[in-house]
Structure 1
Amino acid sequence: MKQGGVKMVLRFEKWFKAIQIRRSRRTYVTKQIESDSKEVLTDMIVELNQRYTGVKVVFVEKAPDAVFVGAVGPYGKITGAPAYLALVIDTDENFNYEKAGFIGQACVLEATLHGLSSCWVGGYFNKVIAAEEVGINENERVVAVIPIGYARKNLSLTEKMMNQVGDYHKRKSVEDISEGLAQEQWPDWVGSVVKSASLSPSAYNRQSIHFVVGEDGETITLRITNPSEETNVPKGIDRGIAMLHTEVATNHLNIPGAWHYDKEANVVAFQKS
């Protein structure tokens, strides 16, 4: 697919496998990211940052401890990560949260392939310190950070508690998150794509994206539930992550298509071509 005239050669096929195995982790061992892995990630970030205007990923080779001081929130304490990614947007761009979610999750899946773990943090971090460490322009802001590193072999007590109490890895069924054309009438590719997209991580595991399948079976619209609800993590980021999973799956299945945006209707849709 092409976006904005840039031909993407990203590793969609490899990422399809990473979707199945990636899990959020918050506790890391004290180990620097291996140079080969870091080189692949930083080269890919250069490419991702060409995909859209008004949005970028910044690799910060520094422990994110200062960014999380006094900002534990519902995520639990994050410790030991040697580096983090910062998602930066130009506040004047359309669908900038979606774009940030898309390129951020691409980095997460690539990191997974290198044995690295990660954790999306969109609400509870010190945005002032993050902005200082990243170095942003006047019209930019950091909307999310993603610690990355080598996770501890065993879950920490906090991680165990969050998994047991918060159902942080429990997923809604495809039936619960799909609308439109009856499921028994879906083409085979639609079912595979919606299943992959349903594995998208979301803030507080709220799973606020619904997939509306067009009556022709060739369009999947990603709808935000309760879009007017006030949240400290914009739901557009969740939708962007789901968009990345959708595109990974369509590439895996060799389904050509393109994204269409409608700002007035707050609609983002994948249209098969």
Structure 2
Amino acid sequence: MTTTPELVEKKEEKVIVDNRPDMLICENLTKIYPTPKGDYVVLNDLQLNIKEGEFISIIGHSGCGKSTLLTMIAGLNDINSGKIMVSGEAIREAGPDRAVVFQSPSLLPWLSALQNVLIGVKQVFPHATKAQKLDICKYYLDKVGLGNDFHKKATELSQGMQQRVGIARAFALKPKVLLLDEPFGMLDSLTRGELQDVLLEVWQKEKITAVMVTHDVDESIFLADRVIMMTSGPYAKIGDELIIPFERPRVRKAVLEHPEYYDYRGYLMNFLNH
């Protein structure tokens, strides 16, 4: 991959010493799917370290294994070799310490927004009182802008509102790692922008380690502290990374008007086009 000398210099200038502990470690990670024509190696010897409280976005071409990596971290997809560690412990299955927001929120349509969030809260906080559980649900629904819609059934909510419930549901579990798999991919551009702002606002308060898979270069820059670029499959791995040093809390207008914004955008597009 070729890069402009100016951006290489800027990347070097932006090296930041981060003394936070690692929250998520992917070590020598390999994923293989058997096919009639032989094994298909999706990920090969992948290495990734993510700091506590860091927001990471992962980009790459379709089929490079981004979502496969995310589902492996979630414990929903078996690891062929290597290991994934969260807070120093190897994961073996899905758990509430890793909450996932998928492209489709998959709410139970006959339940209200509040009841959909309550399902997970009951599992994660079994010893809390009923009032405490309801307070947790209402707090996060309010934070995503659904303070007046607690009792609306999922079928009465727009697609954007349903995804707000999905975001509230994930944060309400108080996970160590928040996993986001193209969460705004099915939304129109206006709703997408609104929900990016909602996500960023709640994340800013919670400071949960977040990993987001996205095809949207602008989204990856706006949200992330660091953009991870994956090589095309098969045998995909981390090809490059780019630190996004914009100050937080971030305001969309300020990010878009930053003099280096289009340098970073160009760098990512250059990677994807090679």
What TM-score do the two structures reach when normalised by structure 2?
0.31
Larger RCO: Structure 1 or Structure 2 (Cα < 8 Å, ≥ 6 residues apart)? 2
- Structure with greater Cα Rg: 2
